[in-house]
Amino acid sequence: MIRISRLKIHVMKNLFVALALALLFIPGPSLFAQVNASISFQSSFGDSLIENSYGITRMGDSYYTVGYSLYSGVADFMVSRIDSFGNLEWTKTYGGSTGDFGHSIDVTANGDIVTAGWGKSFGAGDDDLLFIRMDQNGTPQTTKSYGGTGIDRARCIREIPGGDLIHAGHTNSFGAGLNDILLVRTTSLGDTIWAKTYGVFGNDNAWWVEPVSTGGFIVTGNTGVGAGFLNLFLLRVDNNGDTLWARSYGSASGIVTGYCVKEANSGGFVVTGYTSAFGNGGDDIFVMRTDGFGNITWANAYGDLEDEEASGIVELDTTGNFIIVGKTQSFTNYIYDESAYLLEVNGADGEINWSGFLGDSITDEFSAVASGHPHGFVAIGNGSYSGPNRDILVHKGSVDTVSSCSTFPALTSRVSVNPVMSPAQFSVSDAPLVLTSQNISGIDHSIEDTVWCLVDMLVNGLDGASELQLEIYPNPSSGDIHFRSSDLAGRKCELEIYSYLGQLEHRQSILLNNSGSYSLDLRTLNEGAYLLMIKCGESMLRQKVILKR
């Protein structure tokens, strides 16, 4: 087993970046560029206290995350935006005086951001569902809370085609048991259309909801209904929240739970979670694929001798395979340590393509994953990178390979399993939530941003993509440089310059003239080798620049 300490990672990050840039600097044709270049990065950001992140979504080449921060002394709902190279663009916190937590985030068709979680600072009872709709800069457009006299929490929010929103979580303010599954459909501005509970006597909790292409929603989580003490459920409801079918999947020999469900592009559903009933020891990652009616196509447990758990899944846009993220205790120095975990499986049967882990601290884990721009995936989570405290962890990986960004192969085994599938007869009732509009503004939250690793994973090209031409002169230069690309004439672009060690040294927006030329003064930079990158929409050009005086 390979294990690297925090100090070594921050030393070795420069070696990774230097190696990646060195590949670009190998002597060859002076004109080198690549359309749709894919950059792998690994970043963390946080302050001296605790930040956790639970959700991620992508808009263009930016990523938005949601979680919470303890910077103010109590938990504040926190949203951040990260660029395509892992740099933190902004972080804002929202909340009151008694603790507010963000858990899910989605981007709407008109480009707004919708977030959901819970908090005690606002609303009718204990924890209440908390909804914030904001623009791309984090400015709230509307904020509302929903709840009863007990605990009501939202774990997931998704936009529905047409603009309405679906919220999923659990409640003990209403329903048949201790906790019941809670689904709430609202307008785009958060006004309630309907709210319903689903459950039996005991604990039933929803962790994820997704709109289905044929209409209605698929929901997963855990329930006491079924073969075991705690079982994974799939609940299929129509647009009005009426049950179409419900299934539980479990075993009398242990636990099976669900955290995330996605509709597969080729049909059916794929759900992730963990199980103690099957696998190789302790808790293992549980992944199951079903048809459109919840019948099992395949089910597998993945792991090693200690505990593993999966929290997020995304289908790769180029292969139809799935990236699964979570955490593991099998690849750590001590039994209670955790490493962030990555796994790619074949969509047809769940066979492992690769698996890997990363982490050098007491606790590292991934909570969610989104598709990457332009390819691959971006995983979000947290790790203990400030002594005993926790910072946000972000990792972008490429398709079909373990990223070289401090990620190490994991000796994962796959066990084909056969959980008991049972009908789940949930009692359904209306939930008369108290809806309250809130006045919450976002506060800028300045936190440290560290990019450990920036690696070009596609130096040798991508699927035969065409090349754009970039000419830089003079090169070497004393500081005044000129560049030209006739392919980008008249285009507005973003220009970034990175040092040989991967540090962002300069960034600005530029407008190339009608011949595709632009001049730049870099005399403020020290002598040395730099990487110049120009991003224009989906196109990216990069070239080495030498400053010599």
Same domain, yes or no, for 243 and 318? Answer: no
- Portion of the chain with pLDDT greater than 90, in percent: 60
pLDDT value at residue 17: 39
Q: Which of 63, 61, 68 is nearest to 88 (CA)?
A: 63
DSSP state of 486: G
pLDDT at 400: 61
Which residues form the domain of 401? Answer: 1-20+40-58+69-74+305-409
Token reading at 57:
């979504």
CB 517: neighbour CB atoms within 10 A? 15
Lowest mean pLDDT among 162-166, 189-193, 232-236, 500-504: 500-504
Domain contains 187: no
Residue 287 has pLDDT above 50, yes or no: yes
If we measure between CA atoms, which residue out of 344, 326, 342, 323 comes closest to residue 274?
326
In what helix (H) or strand (E) does residue 17 lie, and over which residues does it extend?
A: helix 6-25
| d(C-alpha 90, C-alpha 84), whole Å | 13
In a domain, 29, yes or no: no
Asked whether the whole model's pTM tops 0.85, one would answer no
Looking at 398, 425, 452, the residue that finishes a domain is 425
* Predicted confidence band of residue 536 (pLDDT cuts 50, 70, 90): confident
pLDDT, greater one: 45 or 217: 217
**Residue 296 maps to a domain:** yes
As a whole number, mean pLDDT of residues 385-414 equals 74
Last residue of a domain, one of 372, 397, 425: 425
Mean pLDDT of the region 197-204:
95
CB contact at 8 A, 170 and 150? no
CATH number for the domain spanning 487: value is 2.60.40.3080
More confident residue, 437 or 463: 437
Checking if the pLDDT of 462 tops 80, the result is: no
Mean of the pLDDT values across residues 471-476?
Answer: 90
What is the domain count for the chain?
3
84 within some domain? no
pLDDT at position 43: 87
Residue 150 lies in a domain: no
Position 361 confidence tier, pLDDT thresholds 50, 70, 90 = low
What is the average pLDDT score of the chain?
Answer: 85
Same-domain check for residues 515 and 540: yes
476 in any annotated domain: yes
Please enumerate in sequence order all residues whose Cβ is within 8 A of that of 73, keeping only pairs 6 or more positions apart, or say none: none
**Residue 176 in domain:** no
Residue 465 pLDDT > 50:
no
Joined together, the tokens standing for residue 47 give 């302050």
Asked if pLDDT for residue 226 goes beyond 80, the answer is: yes
| Least confident segment among 114-123, 341-350, 390-399 | 390-399
> Which pLDDT score is estimated for 360?
54
